[in-house]
């Protein structure tokens, strides 16, 4: 690790698909320490993660599971830049969708995911993020809007959907929440023993947007604090926790400080998406991290108070003037702002 990288229990990281030398140098120059690799399926991600600089990436997707040697090589390259390759940011829906819907390819998908977990463990990469949310099947965002200074921000407004109960493309029927819970239980019963053996922590992200019990005939399981508690209790494991997306809980209208306390005191926070929005479901838009619903300083102070030790990473960020398609300026602002807040809270 580079200089001062281990001074803070709360560290600042980034998510990136590219592992190019320029990207790694930039990440280190802005003061981030932890790096999470985005998966290969660019069609499943918001625009700001579909950066055209796809050089030196590690592809994660169906029939594209990186080997131990590929992961080790990536980790060594990241470490040579003064950073830590902390984990896989998320799995693409194209890899886990058959498990979610209990389709014919479910067992093959589980084999690929458990292989990935074992390979991560052998390569000494400790985290695998995932979600239970078919982002490419139902809309994640609607018409973009403007936020501070005319920066472009993603947004969601339920009223812009023609019929949220109309079946999503490719579905022949609506699925019940009971079915989805059972399929999710089977997933956990299969992968968590492997994660425990491999020494890898799995981190679950909320559905986004966390709106309605079902959208397009697809249950939105992880739309509430209570459902997250149920998910953590379904197959209890010390190797399972939350990719705590503060923006998603802010969208739900939850008190973010209470959410941090609730899961932090149980040591169930693996890593954090540190972002915020203005408004709550059914209508909200992204904004800069210092300009949203919750108090950033109080959130960091609460993380300190519950003893959280891990990374906070910018997630969705507005598009600023002169940004590239990874939104390097906005991401750099967010990293710097979070570092400043963390340093201020540490000095209290």
Q: pLDDT of 6-30, one tens digit each?
A: 444 899 999 999 999 999 999 999 9
pLDDT band at residue 53 using 50, 70 and 90 as cut-offs: low
Q: Distance (Å, rounded) from C-alpha 215 to C-alpha 213?
A: 7
Bridge partners (DSSP) listed for residue 12: 312
Predicted local confidence at residue 49, as pLDDT? 54
Q: What is the mean pLDDT of residues 31-50?
A: 75
Buried b (16+ CB within 10 A) or exposed e, 65-80: bbeeeebbbbbebbee
283: helix, strand or coil:
strand
Predicted local confidence at residue 5, as pLDDT? 39
192: helix, strand or coil:
helix
% the chain with pLDDT above 70: 93
Backbone angles phi, psi at 319, to 5 degrees: -95, 115
Predicted local confidence at residue 137, as pLDDT? 76
Q: What is the mean pLDDT of residues 150-168?
A: 94
Predicted local confidence at residue 178, as pLDDT? 98
Residue with tokens 């939850």: 254
Q: What is the mean pLDDT of residues 46-61?
A: 67
Q: Distance (Å, rounded) from C-alpha 24 to C-alpha 26?
A: 5
Q: Which of 32-41, 95-104, 238-247, 288-297 has the lowest mean pLDDT?
A: 32-41
Q: Per DSSP, which regions of 21-179 are E strands?
A: 34-37, 84-88, 127-131, 145-146, 152-153, 155-157
Predicted local confidence at residue 8, as pLDDT? 43
Predicted local confidence at residue 59, as pLDDT? 87
Q: Distance (Å, rounded) from C-alpha 229 to C-alpha 63?
A: 32
| Res. 4: pLDDT tops 50 | no
For residue 123, the tally of other CB atoms under 10 A from its CB is: 22
Mean pLDDT of the chain: 93
Q: Whole-prediction pTM value?
A: 0.94
| Res. 51: pLDDT tops 70 | no
C-alpha distances (whole Å) from 193 to each of 98, 114, 130, 186, 340 are 20, 10, 16, 12, 39
Q: Distance (Å, rounded) from C-alpha 24 to C-alpha 56?
A: 11
Which residues neighbour 246 within 8 Å (Cβ) at sequence distance 6 or greater? 256, 259, 260, 272, 273, 274, 275, 276, 294, 299
Domain range annotation of the chain = 10-346
pLDDT band at residue 3 using 50, 70 and 90 as cut-offs: very low
Predicted local confidence at residue 306, as pLDDT? 96
Q: What is the mean pLDDT of residues 218-231?
A: 97
Please provide the size of the chain in residues.
348
| Res. 332: pLDDT tops 80 | yes
Q: Which of 82-86, 168-172, 299-303, 339-343 has the lowest mean pLDDT?
A: 168-172
Predicted local confidence at residue 139, as pLDDT? 84
Predicted local confidence at residue 52, as pLDDT? 57
- Classify domain 10-346 at the CATH superfamily level: Divalent-metal-dependent TIM barrel enzymes (3.20.20.150)
**What's CA 300's distance to the chain center, in Å?**
18
Q: What is the mean pLDDT of residues 34-52?
A: 70
How many CA atoms lie less than 13 Å away from 31 in the CB half-sphere?
19
pLDDT band at residue 39 using 50, 70 and 90 as cut-offs: confident
Q: Distance (Å, rounded) from C-alpha 88 to C-alpha 175?
A: 29
Q: Distance (Å, rounded) from C-alpha 246 to C-alpha 170?
A: 31
Residue with tokens 């990207």: 23
pLDDT band at residue 2 using 50, 70 and 90 as cut-offs: very low
Strand order in the sheet with 283-287: 155-157, 283-287, 276-280
Which residues neighbour 28 within 8 Å (Cβ) at sequence distance 6 or greater? 2, 81, 82, 83
Judge whether 113 and 202 are in contact, CB under 8 Å: no
pLDDT band at residue 226 using 50, 70 and 90 as cut-offs: very high
Q: What is the mean pLDDT of residues 291-298?
A: 98
| Res. 269: pLDDT tops 80 | yes
pLDDT band at residue 330 using 50, 70 and 90 as cut-offs: very high
Bond into 282 cis (ω within 30): yes
Backbone angles phi, psi at 276, to 5 degrees: -150, 170
Which residues neighbour 31 within 8 Å (Cβ) at sequence distance 6 or greater? 12, 335, 336, 339
| Res. 337: pLDDT tops 90 | yes
């Amino acid at each position: 690790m580079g200089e001062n990288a281990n001074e803070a229990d709360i560290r600042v990281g980034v998510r990136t698909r590219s592992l190019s030398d320029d990207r790694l140098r930039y990440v280190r120059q802005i003061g981030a320490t932890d790096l999470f690799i985005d998966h290969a399926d660019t069609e499943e991600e918001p625009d700001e993660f579909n950066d055209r600089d796809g050089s030196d990436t590690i592809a994660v997707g169906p029939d594209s599971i990186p080997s131990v040697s590929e992961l080790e090589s990536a980790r060594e390259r990241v470490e040579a830049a003064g950073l830590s390759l902390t984990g896989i940011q998320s799995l693409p829906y194209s890899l886990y969708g058959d498990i979610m819907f209990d389709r014919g390819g479910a067992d093959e998908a589980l084999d690929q995911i458990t292989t990935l977990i074992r390979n991560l463990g052998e390569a000494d990469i400790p985290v695998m993020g995932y979600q239970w949310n078919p982002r490419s099947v139902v809309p994640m965002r609607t018409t973009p809007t403007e936020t501070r200074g005319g920066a472009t921000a993603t947004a969601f407004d339920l009223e812009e959907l023609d019929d949220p109960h109309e079946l999503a493309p490719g579905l022949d029927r609506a699925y019940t929440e009971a079915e989805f819970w059972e399929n999710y239980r089977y997933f956990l019963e299969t992968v968590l023993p492997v994660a425990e053996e491999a020494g890898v922590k799995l981190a679950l992200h909320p559905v986004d947007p966390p709106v309605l019990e079902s959208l397009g005939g697809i249950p939105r399981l992880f739309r509430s604090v209570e459902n997250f508690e149920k998910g953590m209790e379904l197959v209890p494991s010390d190797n399972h926790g939350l990719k705590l997306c503060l923006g998603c809980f802010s969208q739900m209208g939850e008190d973010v400080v209470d959410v941090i306390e609730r899961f932090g005191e149980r040591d169930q926070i693996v890593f954090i998406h540190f972002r915020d929005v203005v408004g709550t479901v059914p209508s909200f838009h992204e904004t800069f991290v210092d300009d949203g619903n919750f108090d950033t300083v109080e959130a960091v102070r609460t993380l300190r108070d519950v003893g959280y030790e891990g990374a906070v990473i910018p997630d969705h960020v507005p598009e600023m003037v002169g940004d590239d398609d990874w939104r390097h300026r906005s991401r750099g602002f967010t990293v710097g702002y979070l570092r400043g807040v963390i340093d201020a809270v540490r000095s209290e």
